[in-house]
Structure 1
Amino acid sequence: MSVPPAPAPGDALAPFRPRRGRLVAIGVVWASLLIFGTIAVIMPEQDGRWGPADRLMMFGLGAAIAALAWRYASIVAVPTRDGIVVRNLVVTRTLDWPEIVGVQFGGGEPWVSLDLLDGDTLAVMAIQKADGDVAGREASRLAALVQAFGESREEDSS
């Protein structure tokens, strides 16, 4: 598997997605289904200890791990001219650009965080430090979108 390419430089509204983390998560999906499925099939039946229910639960465990990994693989932040939809591991949140007052990407955090107008912060797991230089460019692109669309909306409402 190769790392998917970064968005084209001219495509400012391209979705933000993690690159390496997504590939690892997809690998975990397939590996857990394969490994736990194989174990469920070849599990020996010894004195009635490993019955059909045990096999089903073994495969179910693999499916649960695969589902969690798939959710991680589907992390994305989708910008539009009106705002951004941030889908993290557990929560999906929609923000209008004027609600975002800053973009932070530094310190010990593994991903970008947005400073919001209400004083809260929101992690954007779609831009991860593990992606190296690409992550820095993506964080800069997000900051430019916040500046461009946040300010233009404020001027429109004045």
Structure 2
Amino acid sequence: MAPNSELSDSDGALGSPGEEGLPVLPITWRPTRTRVIVFAVAVLMAGSMGLVAALLPSDGGAPWPLPDRIAFGGIGLAGAAVLLVLARPKVVADRGGLTVVNMLRTHRLEWPQIVRVNLRPGDPWVLLDLDSGDSLAAMGIQPSNGAGTARQAVADLRSLVELYSYTGRGD
């Protein structure tokens, strides 16, 4: 079935993204509060370590050599880079499927591969049950943005999975 065609459910109702409460594609979910905090801490870390490296004494009774001061500033930049990995997660839905970008890996899923979208109370992020029997963390949808926002994102994702996972084979 073509991904941009309208589907008819058992009640005969038609649906396509942008209609009847379905989200307009493409749509991206990101944990914005987490990203703001991570960016702020990364800038603070790199800036403070750079400032300390610049203010370390280069002469006197206990001098810090230039390579040591550069290394001190570099540690701040490396720490900021590690923190920025925490800001990477996102989930992007388009007509072809779902792209799940977690901290270190990116997964591309076709809609029929997704069996269920789960966000139980206490879960740190959405878990996707896949047709292979595996689960995949979708870290881009988190309750850290607010429980209502997470519930809406899960409802939108579930409706898209339901719409696009239709195969026409009666399953």
Q: Which TM bucket (shorter chain)?
A: 0.7 to 0.9
Q: 24, 39, 44: which is aligned to 1:31?
A: 44
Deviation at 1:86, TM superposition (A): 0.7
More helix by share: 1
Q: 132, 135, 144: which is aligned to 2:150?
A: 135
2:117 is equivalent to residue 103 of structure 1: yes
Consecutive unaligned residues of structure 2, counting only runs of 5 or more, are 1-21
Could you tell me whether the CA contact under 8 Å between 2:86 and 2:103 is conserved in 1?
yes
Counterparts in 2 of 1:138 and 1:51: CA distance versus 1, 3 Å:
same
- Which residue of the partner structure matches residue 52 of structure 1? 66
Could you tell me how far apart the structure 1 residues matched to 2:155 and 2:69 are?
49
- Which residue of the partner structure matches residue 136 of structure 2? 122
- Which residue of the partner structure matches residue 77 of structure 1? 91
Could you tell me whether the CA contact under 8 Å between 2:111 and 2:165 is conserved in 1?
yes
* 1:67 counterpart letter in structure 2: A
* 1:117 counterpart letter in structure 2: D
Deviation at 1:79, TM superposition (A): 0.9
Q: 89, 92, 115: which is aligned to 2:106?
A: 92
Could you tell me whether the CA contact under 8 Å between 1:12 and 1:141 is conserved in 2?
no
Between 1:26-35 and 1:43-52, the stretch displaced more is: 43-52
2:34 is equivalent to residue 21 of structure 1: yes
- Which residue of the partner structure matches residue 6 of structure 1? none
Q: 61, 66, 84: which is aligned to 2:75?
A: 61
Deviation at 1:91, TM superposition (A): 1.1
- Which residue of the partner structure matches residue 7 of structure 2? none
**Number of equivalences:** 147
TM normalised by structure 2 equals 0.78
Could you tell me whether the CA contact under 8 Å between 2:25 and 2:95 is conserved in 1?
no
Deviation at 1:13, TM superposition (A): 2.8
TM normalised by structure 1 equals 0.84
Consecutive unaligned residues of structure 1, counting only runs of 5 or more, are 1-8
Identity of aligned residues (%): 33
Could you tell me how far apart the structure 1 residues matched to 2:160 and 2:104 are?
24
- Which residue of the partner structure matches residue 5 of structure 1? none
* 2:117 counterpart letter in structure 1: V
Between 1:46-55 and 1:118-127, the stretch displaced more is: 46-55
**Larger Rg belongs to:** 2
Deviation at 1:74, TM superposition (A): 2.5
* 2:141 counterpart letter in structure 1: I
